[in-house]
């Protein structure tokens, strides 16, 4: 009958890291357990003696270079989503602001110069109102929903005539 | 181990002892380099690669027994380590952490591909003429490596980490996510099965 008093684990302990004195003493005096330990030891010696072929001395530099290259790709890859998100943001902002800047189809486009001064603070609007009322009649202005839309609805000829009238009025003020 | 040291250098052998020494660099250096790497210092990661490349490559080689696959696995290990370096908090040694990644790479590799137990590429070996005793020794080493590569996954990983990387039972248990008792049991069965494999293929 084979003695199994020394457990598999305790034989491994004896082989690698030592074992309690009682276990060691038992194995030393027990042919069965000593034989089991010897079999393990023979295997371990074979395993330990099986070295590896050493790669070319240049291999390690190649390995490092390949790792470095692939790590660099990882870094690029990390930035890629951010770059894509930034590009998407730019496009989104452009689309939104473009849609806000685009003239509404229901409102007439205004000449750039009428948008500059706030209407409430622009004393010149009173002058323009006076000119329109004398030139085109008050009822014409009444058709417009406010002065600014009314100015925007002027034809090019009317706009030019208005500009000339303003210039003449300003010359009169300067002189 | 003394048998390895007594070998002539006609055919250079990467001994377990040498590999283990390379695999156990100073923890302070590792810690500093990991922290630097986490701050974006690429050169710090290069230093970690240089320090661990041999140990990781050899661990992988022992597992798959093929240079080309070991090369792929070693690169994969470092790549995964780089991607996860921000999550390394230093709860274990960096060596334990990188070995765990390497073992996981090997386990995944084995599950995805058939085991390779083919002979080593001739291009790896020294081209100079070798003595008969040396050829015989290398043939025996090749036979043992092939047998190790045929062990069940856990037994193989345990044997490689314990014998070739010279880790403690506790370190092996930490890497494999098992108990010390399981590590000892796997070691026992690995050595026992190895003996059977070698005896069945003289």
Provide the pLDDT for residue A39. 92
Q: How confident is the model at residue A120 (pLDDT cuts 50, 70, 90)?
A: low
> Taking CB atoms and an 8 Å cutoff, what residues of chain B touch A18?
none
Of the two residues A81 and B16, the one the predictor is more confident about is: A81
Q: Do B148 and A50 touch (CB under 8 A)?
A: yes
A37-46, A89-98, B116-125, B186-195: which range is least confident on average?
A: B116-125
- Does residue A85 have a pLDDT over 50? yes
pTM, full prediction: 0.63
Provide the pLDDT for residue A123. 61
Q: How far apart, in Å, do the first and last CA atoms of chain B sit? A: 23
Q: Do A49 and B192 touch (CB under 8 A)?
A: no
Full DSSP string of A57-81? TTHHHHHHHHHHHHHHHHHHHHHHH
Q: Do B12 and A53 touch (CB under 8 A)?
A: yes
CA distance B58 to B65: 9
Residue among B200, B168, B167, B160 nearest B65 (CA): B160
Provide the pLDDT for residue A156. 76
Q: How confident is the model at residue A17 (pLDDT cuts 50, 70, 90)?
A: confident
Q: Do B120 and A51 touch (CB under 8 A)?
A: no
Q: Which tens digit of pLDDT belongs to each residue from B100-139? A: 999 999 988 865 555 544 444 444 545 566 677 888 888 8
Going residue by residue through chain B (202 aa), what tens digit of pLDDT does each one get? 333 323 222 233 344 333 443 445 456 688 899 999 999 899 999 999 999 999 999 999 999 999 999 999 999 999 999 999 999 988 888 999 999 999 999 988 865 555 544 444 444 545 566 677 888 888 899 999 999 999 999 999 999 999 999 899 999 999 999 999 999 999 999 999 999 999 887 6
Q: Do A63 and B195 touch (CB under 8 A)?
A: no
Measure Cα distances from A45 to A41, B101, B116 in Å: 6, 28, 24
Q: Do A47 and B191 touch (CB under 8 A)?
A: yes
CB of B88 less than 8 A from some CB of A: no
> Taking CB atoms and an 8 Å cutoff, what residues of chain A touch B4?
48-49, 51
Q: What's the ipTM?
A: 0.75
Please provide the size of chain A in residues: 175
CA distance A159 to A155: 6
**Look-up of token digits 């290259």:** A69
Of the two residues A22 and B191, the one the predictor is more confident about is: B191
Give the closest-approach CA distance of B7 to chain A in angstroms. Answer: 10
Provide the pLDDT for residue B9. 28
Residue A78 structure tokens: 């990390």
Provide the pLDDT for residue B128. 60
Those of residues 142-201 in B touching chain A at CB distance below 8 A are: 142, 144-145, 148, 159, 162-163, 168-169, 181, 184-185, 187-189, 191-192, 194-195, 198
Residue among B112, B122, B25 nearest B72 (CA): B112
Cβ contacts from A onto B, under 8 A: 122
Contact predicate B77/B60, CB 8 Å: yes
Those of residues 22-61 in B touching chain A at CB distance below 8 A are: 42, 45-46, 49-50, 53-54, 57-58, 61
Residue among B4, B82, B181 whose CB faces A74 most closely: B82
Side-chain-side CA neighbours of B113 within 13 Å: the count stands at 13
Provide the pLDDT for residue A28. 84
> What percent of chain A shows pLDDT beyond 70?
50
Provide the pLDDT for residue B59. 95
């Amino acid at each position: 009958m084979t003695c199994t008093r020394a457990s598999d684990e305790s034989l491994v302990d004896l082989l690698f890291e030592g074992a309690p004195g009682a276990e060691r003493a038992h194995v030393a005096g027990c042919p069965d357990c000593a034989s089991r330990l010897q079999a393990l030891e023979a295997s371990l010696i074979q395993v330990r003696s099986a070295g590896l072929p050493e790669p070319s001395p240049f291999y390690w530099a190649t390995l490092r270079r390949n790792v470095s290259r692939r790590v660099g790709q990882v870094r690029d890859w990390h930035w890629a989503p951010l770059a894509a998100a930034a590009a998407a943001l730019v496009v989104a902002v452009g689309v939104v602001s473009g849609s806000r800047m685009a003239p509404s189809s229901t409102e007439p486009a205004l000449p750039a110069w009428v948008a500059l001064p706030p209407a409430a603070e622009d004393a010149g609007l009173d002058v323009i109102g006076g000119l329109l009322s004398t030139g085109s009649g008050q009822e014409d202005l009444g058709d417009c929903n406010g002065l600014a839309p009314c100015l925007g609805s002027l034809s090019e000829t009317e706009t030019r005539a208005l500009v000339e009238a303003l210039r003449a009025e300003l010359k009169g003020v300067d002189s | 181990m003394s048998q390895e040291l007594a070998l002539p250098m006609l055919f250079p052998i990467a001994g377990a002892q040498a590999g283990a020494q390379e695999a156990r660099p100073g923890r302070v250096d590792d810690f500093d380099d990991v922290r630097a790497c986490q701050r974006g210092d690429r050169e710090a990661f290069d230093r970690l690669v240089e320090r661990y490349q041999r140990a990781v490559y050899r661990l992988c080689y022992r597992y798959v027994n093929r240079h080309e696959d070991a090369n792929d696995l070693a690169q994969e290990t470092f790549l995964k380590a780089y991607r996860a370096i921000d999550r390394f908090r230093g709860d274990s040694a960096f060596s334990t952490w990188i070995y765990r990644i390497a073992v996981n790479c090997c386990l995944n590799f084995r599950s995805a591909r058939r085991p390779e137990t083919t002979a080593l590429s001739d291009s790896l070996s020294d081209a100079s003429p070798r003595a008969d005793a040396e050829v015989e020794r290398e043939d025996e080493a090749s036979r043992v490596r092939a047998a190790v590569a045929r062990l069940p996954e856990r037994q193989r990983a345990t044997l490689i980490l314990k014998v070739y990387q010279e880790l403690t039972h506790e370190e092996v248990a930490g890497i494999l996510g098992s108990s010390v008792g399981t590590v000892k049991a796997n070691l026992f069965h690995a050595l026992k099965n190895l003996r059977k494999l070698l005896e069945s293929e003289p």
